[in-house]
Structure 1
Amino acid sequence: MMMNNHLNTPHLRILLIKLRHHGDMLLTTPVINSLRQRWPDAQIDVLLYEETRDMLAAHPAIGKIYGIDRKWKQLGTRKHLQKEWQLLKTLRAQHYHLVINLADQWRSAFVTRFTGAPVRLGFAFNKRDSAFWRFCHTQLVPVANHKTLHTVEQNLSILAPLPVPPLPVVTMSYSAQDWQTAREKLTARGVDDHYVVIQPTSRWFFKCWDEEKMAQTIAALRQDGHTVVLTAGPDKKELAMIDRILAASPQDGVVSLAGELTLRQLAALIDHARLFIGVDSVPMHMAAALQTPCVALFGPSKLTFWSPWQVNGEVIWAGDYGPLPDPDAVDTHTKERYLDAIPVDAVVAAARRYL
């Protein structure tokens, strides 16, 4: 009852904390959307790692985004501590009523406690079974069933103690300017409104498919008359992979915007595409969120946790074509390409079903 008293205020202020990678941030949006549906006038702020800001920056339900910049460490101890202290003071000054800590780091618990919010929810992670973790939160939500839940469902389970019906919808937001920029880049390369986006890269190369097979898939799509737009992150290894695919692909009707788009511009590009083909990476989750027809290639990732949520399309799993290692046993720096068991015709057939 006490909890509801704190939340029955006309000017409800909420802070959501998640300190993870880009894809993780996108999959927090169902929690944000649920809170917004329940409390249309609440102030909903987010604390995240600065480099992931783009994932949530255009979300209409979010008020302010506070970033922890991992580059602060390079400023030297004194300046670094000043930045951290300034952030803590700023958050405390917001007088939040509710803090939802989706993160598992000690610092997230400390920040949660320091806000002084009367309602502070966190997860009862096994590795955080300590008096300090309990002290930092007013209530801990069990995680016993998380092993069988998708990441979206895991995140939404934090709402169990609240009078908030879960809204299991992932949203990737971008601005009109983001689409305008992407559209201009397409026009400059002679691409009209009918195109297929292919993102063959991931920051983990063991999640990627063979370049030659990707080029054969592109050739089949070109034969069907489709224009193909290749995308990738700005990393040198990813760009080199795109170059290898381009060299083996047809020379006309295949263009690259690799390394040229922000994440929100990439979202706009994917949103307007006829089809998205990609591996287990952030753009795949964006395509699923945007409901762009999607063919997702998966290797030894935990499908239960990371398959594209509510995807308009299909997942092609390498495990259906050959043995895969346990996801927990994979050396992330391996040169092994676990997706290579997937045949070209399976991907081309799936793509044709959606074009």
Structure 2
Amino acid sequence: MIMNNALNSLAGEPPARILLIKLRHHGDMLLTTPVINALHQGWPQAEIDVLLYEETRDMLAAHPFIHRIYGIDRKWRKLGTRQHLCKEWHLLKTLRQQKYSLVLNLADQWRSAIVTRFTGAPARIGFDFNKRRGWFWQHCHTQLASVTGHQALHTVEQNLSILAPLAIADCKSVTMGYLPDDWQAVQSRLQSKGVEGSFIVVQPTSRWFFKCWDESKMAQTITALQNDGHTLILTSGPDKNEKAMIEKIRSLCPPERIHSLAGELTLRQLAALIDHARLFIGVDSVPMHMAAALKTPCIALFGPSKLTFWSPWEVIGEVIWAGHYGELPDPDKIDTNTKERYLDAIPVDVVVAAARKQLL
């Protein structure tokens, strides 16, 4: 859908500065990297900035093609109305001062549209979302990219479709970056636990527990791999419930060759750990997407999430879907606070066999 097509100016003069906007969760941010990679491939001289939620910064902080990251800190709300508005206004002014040639708004929030418009960029592309049909959304963008067919596309492909009006080539690789210091910090932790040689990373937790597998089944899987002679590193987020799950799993396993780094690593340090692992085993979560991006062999346990949208992109390994072993509810109708464990239908022997296949 084309309104005021300001893209003709980009044909003769490549954009000097580009802003990419995405205001979502950690995994969503990782899956924007193909767009960043494609922009760099098409216009290697352009400076590419990103606007995101501050808590997701680590997902992109080490990306080599990003010039600068701007963050919206959701903690600003706690500062009181006056200070909150001052923070928001300062951000808007800062972005406008960058004089972007092109803004790509991957987000669907009204806030992202307002930011897009306020930058004053001559070319501003957003998506023609069904729920955003109307004058204001159109006014904030100079062009809207079609969302036709998005329901049948992976999130990576949905994101890349915003490039269609620009006629630059796709670059479909998802990339997760970290720094040498991140790996050095992880090495130090591993050495302190006496870990030497190869290891398997297991992340059994998600911030939504309905995406998790039964602790005893995970422990049985880990025990089988311990008995095969492998060393296992358990990881989780810093949440106390996630760390409690890790301790319960550990208590059900033999004490040999099993260690926990639960809640101890930054996201970039976790990426470094996964990158050096022989195998990653985990549920539908950010670390699963990181493992796929890092090309670490991966066993991903999936429940009632939309596989089409959220399966690990170009994964080396295997996705084991609970729907092959039992009935699953409609992903759009799940109570995210439920204590139901939809993955429990997955048999232990299937996961063990898949892991052993990757470890051959």
| TM-score (norm. length: structure 1) | 0.99
Q: Distance in 1 between matches of 2:32 and 2:11?
A: 21
Q: Which residue of 1 aligns with 2:91?
A: 87
Q: Is the 8 A contact 2:183 2:273 kept in 1?
A: yes
Aligned partner of 1:284 in structure 2 is 288
What is the CA deviation profile of residues 54-102 of structure 1, one whole-angstrom value per residue up to 9, with x for unaligned ones? 0000000000000000000000000000000000000000000000000
- The residue identity in structure 2 corresponding to 1:148 is A
In the alignment, which residue of structure 2 is the partner of 1:114? 118
> In structure 2, what is the equivalent of residue 337 of structure 1?
341
Letter in 2 for 1:274: R
C-alpha deviation, 1:142, in angstroms: 1.2
Contact 2:15 2:102 in 1 (8 A): no
Q: Choose from 144, 166, 169 the match for 1:165.
A: 169
Is the partner of 2:7 in helix, strand or coil?
helix
| Residue in structure 1 matched with residue 135 of structure 2 by the alignment | 131
CA shift for structure 1 position 257: 0.2
| SS in structure 2 of the partner of residue 296 of structure 1 | strand
Structure 2 partner of 1:151: 155
Secondary structure in 1 matching 2:40: helix
CA contact (8 A) 2:16 2:101 kept: yes
Alignment correspondent of 1:183? 187
Per-residue deviation, residues 147-180 of structure 1 (Å, max 9, x unmatched): 0000000000000000211111100000000010
Give 4+ residue runs of structure 1 displaced > 4 Å after superposition: none
Alignment of 1:265-344 (within 5 A): 265-344=269-348
Q: What is residue 62 of structure 1 aligned with on the other side?
A: 66
CA distance in 2 between partners of 1:98 and 1:115 (Å): 9
SS in 2 for 1:15: strand
Residue 192 of structure 1, CA deviation: 1.4
Letter in 2 for 1:122: G
Gaps of at least 5 residues in structure 1 are none
Q: Secondary structure at the match of 1:112?
A: helix
Aligned counterparts of 2:335 and 2:127: Cα–Cα separation in 1: 28
How far does residue 11 in structure 1 lie from its aligned partner after superposition?
6.2
Q: CA deviation at 1:340?
A: 0.2
Q: Which SS does the other structure have where 2:160 is aligned?
A: helix
RMSD: 1.0
Distance across 2 between alignment mates of 1:315 and 1:263: 22
Residue 204 (structure 2) pairs with residue 221 (structure 1): no
Q: Is 1:232 the equivalent of 2:236?
A: yes
Rounded Cα–Cα distance in structure 2 between residues aligned with 1:180 and 1:191? 14
Alignment partner, residue 27 of structure 1:
31
Cα deviations across residues 250-299 of structure 1 (Å, max 9, x unaligned)? Answer: 11100000000000000000000000000000000000000000000000
| 1:24-49 alpha-carbon deviations (Å, 9 max, x no partner) | 00000000000000111100000000
Mapped to 2, the partners of 1:12 and 1:204 lie a distance apart of: 41
CA distance in 1, matches of 2:11, 2:82: 38
Change (3 A) 1:300 1:124: same
1:18 aligns with 2:18: no
Q: Which amino acid is the alignment partner of residue 150 of structure 1?
A: H
Equivalent residue for 2:355, pick from 330, 351, 354: 351
Measure the CA separation in 2 of the matches of 1:291 and 1:27: 14
Question: Distance between the aligned counterparts of 2:246 and 2:58, measured in 1?
Answer: 23
Q: Distance in 1 between matches of 2:124 and 2:27?
A: 24
How far off is 1:329 after superposition? 1.1
TM-score, normalising length from structure 2? 0.97
